[in-house]
A and B are shown apart, each in its own frame.
Chain A
Amino acid sequence: MARIEFDRIRHSYEANPQSDADFALKEISMGWDDGGAYALLGPSGCGKTTLLNIISGLLHPTDGHILFDGADVTRAETQARNIAQVFQFPVIYDTMTVRENLAFPLVNRGVEHSEIARRVEETLRIIDLEDKADRRARGLTADEKQKISLGRGLVRNDVNAILFDEPLTVIDPHMKWVLRSKLKELHQRFAFTMIYVTHDQTEALTFADKVVVMYEGQVVQTGTPDELFLKPRHTFVGYFIGSPGMNVLPCSMDGKTAHVGDQAIKLKHGAPTDAGELALGIRPEFITLTSGRKGLPFTVGRVEDIGRFRIVHGDVAGHKVAAMLAEGAEIPAHPRAVFDPANLNLYADSWLVEPQGVAA
């Protein structure tokens, strides 16, 4: 077990990277706590798998250092890092039985026979494959194969972290849920560090203590699911997490007053004068529609009923805005949209403007 640290890691797949655009990973510095459950969330091609492969040592970063408990392992090979990894498509050794598959990493490391037998038995029990231990692995279903991949990591008691690269992609929907709860249970029981790559926000939010959101080769935010929801540091996070995503309204600032179209909204703080393109971010959950005089005029478009909520798609000062209402809530005849000031965020060039940012 170890704490993993990134020190200004950059990676490019090109031999001579020139500009920022050549880098699949732009400079990342961050730490992964020992025993934490992390979800690495982001759209396809944002660098998630690259980051994972740098941790496991399948890739060596172009720049920067990676430390395990303070020791530099940047150039260390995979074997020396004690990492386990489960891939998107199940990797099993076709010609071996389930038992032999599980024993393989131990045999390769020259572990003693009796010890191998004991640990393989234990792992078989953990992944619920005791009754299929002597079957050929190739005949099993996709979820059983994925359990074997996981088992090859669990069987080693020295692993620093287990990495998952979208491991549920090829699993049937009903088995996904079963495997997910199994993973969660195993994590709580053995407390290994777990880094889980996915592009599915439900999967990420149900799983992880901490979610790391990536976008175009950068880590845009690391935080608990709540933090990501309430204080998205980047408009992408607001948009990517939540359904529907955060509303983004381009605006201009005048002191502490934001102007959206011809409407004015009072904010708690302003933005630096050289802040770049400004926008307001407000989640649909924090918009209420009233018939009073407060708020901004809201033109109602399409209304979706999704069980416990109603989603009202509409238009504020020429910008598309979605609002989330409770089930059965009435929409007033000439509604006005009221934004909850506590959850109204200001963004400059897509990045959140913090109140202290103004002071500095």
Chain B
Amino acid sequence: MRRASALVPILYIVFLMLPIYWLLNMSFKTTNEILGGFSPFPREFTLDNYIAIFTDPTWYNGYIDSLIYVAINTVLSVAVALPAAYAFSRYRFLGDKHLFFWLLTNRMAPPAVFALPFLQLYSAIGLFDTHIAVALAHCLFNIPLAVWILEGFMSGVPREIDETAYIDGYSFPKFFVKIFMPLIASGIGVTAFFCFMFSWVEMLLAKTLTSVEAKPIVAVMTRTASTSGYELGLLAAAGVLTIIPGAIVIWFVRNYIAKGFALGRV
């Protein structure tokens, strides 16, 4: 019985790894071998696809551009969400519940609805094709999420701590930075993780809001897929490289994953 149930997660993980393995497999094959037919592992093992990516500025700039707007977005989202989440977790104020729901609705809004208006909006204010534009646009869904997660973690900190700090003569900003933020450090980590994740994986808005200067890797990949036809090996190698940043980030937060995914509110 125990043995049998241990098989379930193992089988599931095998299922998860199969497509990733196949992508890796393809990325080490030559175009000839790929077009030649089915083979379960690369027969003519090659690193050409990776070399092509690291020597072509359009490719590697795509990664750099993506990392830049993801970083801006993560820092911005967490920074503005912190005080807001504190307000929601500690105070009642005029319209608080409506405001909270309104924020959440933006997490629920389909990006497809916003693609065209965003294009016009950011063109009108001259931010089209900049990192800032994508970073700001991703705030639409990342800020509500950040507020939601942080509020959960903050509500878990007893109010007495705030009061004690005030009695001890801490000013609000000093209390917030020196005492409160260390207490919810894991919450902040989890929030940053989520912001990173959703900004990194989003493509529709990132692609719509950029053309040359700030073209993210995800957009470069679609271009390759559509213009140069069947460069599957190159596409696979690019795909493998997009998995790596996520894998690194996840390894850092592995001990918080279980709690973080419950948004601190279990």
Asked if A and B form a direct contact in the complex, defined as CB atoms under 8 angstroms apart, the reply is no
